Amino acid sequence: MTDLLLRNGRPWMPAQPLETADILIRAGRIERIGADLDAAGVETLDLDGALVLPGFVDTHCHLDKTLWSGPWVPNTGGRSLAGRIANGEGRRAELGIPNPDYSANLLAAMIAGGTSHVRSHIDIDPEVGLAGVEAVRAAAARHAGRVDVELVAFPQGGLISRPGTAELLDEALAGGVEVVGGIDPAGFDGDPAGQLNLLFGLAERHGAKIDIHLHDAGALGAWEFDLIIERTEATGLGGRVAISHAYAMGALPADDQRRIADRLTAAGVAMVTCAVGDAPVVPLRVMHAAGATLALGNDGIRDLWTPYGDGDMLRRISTVAFRDRLLADEEIELALAAGTMGGARVLGLSDHGLAVGARADLVTVEAPTPAAAVVGVPTRKLVLKGGCVVARDGQLAA
């Protein structure tokens, strides 16, 4: 916990004009934002007009699977979902994953890029058991104070269709994993009511949040949105449920998108989009207009599923904005908001952002405007976590 005075920054506070201001940090939190602040004896950093953004929130990644910093592994997963899952499981032992070194090195890259919070899905199945949870916890412990990591107990290989997995999810949640995950309750697992009832039951029992991978397209995916919304309302879990990917949403007609976004808002169900490959992106303008919560994530990074990715959330925010054809500055800022405050809402962080009282999890970049920062993906000058400088000029601080 640190006291620090940031001078001459330009904090990005949505709905306020971008003006030069100082930010006074006391005990790791923002105490004041204003012009010419006085704080005798407090260490001072001159930001020289840099833009100040809230820390990025990577709301969807897979730290346990990554091969980051290891040797190049050509992808052998083929093109079917089942084949890729089989490849992902089949080569784990050969390649020594989950590997806490790989996960920790990826976290280091994320921190250097300005990510302050991460939600990572962790594969759980009867073969790997809870090894991924242990590996990622070990990796996160090495970066304690530099990034906060929340885990999702994720049945990547199926839940109803994979005997023994439900018991492992239960064990993971009992052991403190914060979120229970699901995967295509219909299209992959084959028993939508069965999987969803199980997930909501586990969430209620353990006080866990819910985050469901939903790749199912078209009418099938849209129908599953309804199933999830209904159960969220029935259980009172509004504000604690997210649908990740939600590919169907981006491809539906605009009227359907608006209707679903309104229902998401009313029920307190969020969506998380990653702009993977050519998959549809959840439409940012529609979600914003409805007041629905949207967050962003990097998804898989250099793993057996995809050779792509680098963990840089600002680049992912840029990719999402580009894919969703956000053009005007205020549109582009929607992507920045999703990659910061949207993620904070999904994770349940009440004290994230550029506001008095918030934790001083901040990023500074040289850019004329927030939209220009999204477009240009400049090097992160400073990354602060709880008021401490944890990275500088794109490199982890010593």
Binding residue for its own copies, selected from 83, 164, 325, 355, defined by CB under 8 A: 325
Between 38 and 72, name the residue whose CB sits nearer to its own copies: 72
Binding residue for its own copies, selected from 17, 72, 144, 207, defined by CB under 8 A: 72
Q: Which residues contact 391 (CB under 8 A, 6 or more apart)?
A: 111, 112, 113, 114, 380, 382, 383, 397
- Asked whether position 366 contacts its own copies by CB under 8 A, the answer is no
CB of 106 to its own copies, least distance (A): 14
Between 295 and 332, name the residue whose CB sits nearer to its own copies: 332
Q: Give the tokens for residue 89.
A: 């499981």
Options 88-96, 112-120, 254-262, 322-330: segment touching its own copies (CB under 8 A): 322-330
- Asked whether position 302 contacts its own copies by CB under 8 A, the answer is yes
Binding residue for its own copies, selected from 13, 170, 194, 308, defined by CB under 8 A: 308
Between 240 and 245, name the residue whose CB sits nearer to its own copies: 245
- Asked whether position 76 contacts its own copies by CB under 8 A, the answer is yes
Residue numbers 273-292 binding its own copies by CB under 8 A? 277-278, 280-281
Q: Give the tokens for residue 152.
A: 């999702």
Nearest Cα neighbor of 367 from 309, 311, 318 is 318
CB of 374 to its own copies, least distance (A): 9
- Asked whether position 17 contacts its own copies by CB under 8 A, the answer is no
Question: Residue 48: is it exposed, middle or buried by C-beta count within 10 angstroms (0-12/13-18/19+)?
Answer: exposed
CA distances from 122 to 37, 86, 164 (A): 44, 16, 16
Helix, coil or strand: residue 4: strand
CB of 369 to its own copies, least distance (A): 6
Helix, coil or strand: residue 332: helix
Binding residue for its own copies, selected from 129, 369, 388, 392, defined by CB under 8 A: 369
Question: Residue 111: is it exposed, middle or buried by C-beta count within 10 angstroms (0-12/13-18/19+)?
Answer: buried
Helix, coil or strand: residue 18: coil
Q: Give the tokens for residue 84.
A: 């890729």
Beta bridge partners of 324: none
Do 270 and 291 contact (CB within 8 A), yes or no?
A: no
Between 17 and 41, name the residue whose CB sits nearer to its own copies: 17
Q: CA 36, CA 316: separation in Å to the nearest integer?
A: 35
CB of 274 to its own copies, least distance (A): 12
Between 24 and 373, name the residue whose CB sits nearer to its own copies: 373
Q: Give the tokens for residue 86.
A: 């089989």
- Asked whether position 322 contacts its own copies by CB under 8 A, the answer is yes
Q: CA 85, CA 366: separation in Å to the nearest integer?
A: 41
- Asked whether position 376 contacts its own copies by CB under 8 A, the answer is yes
Q: Which positions touch its own copies (CB under 8 A)?
A: 71-72, 74-77, 79, 277-278, 280-281, 302, 306-308, 310, 318, 321-325, 327-329, 332, 368-369, 371-372, 375-376
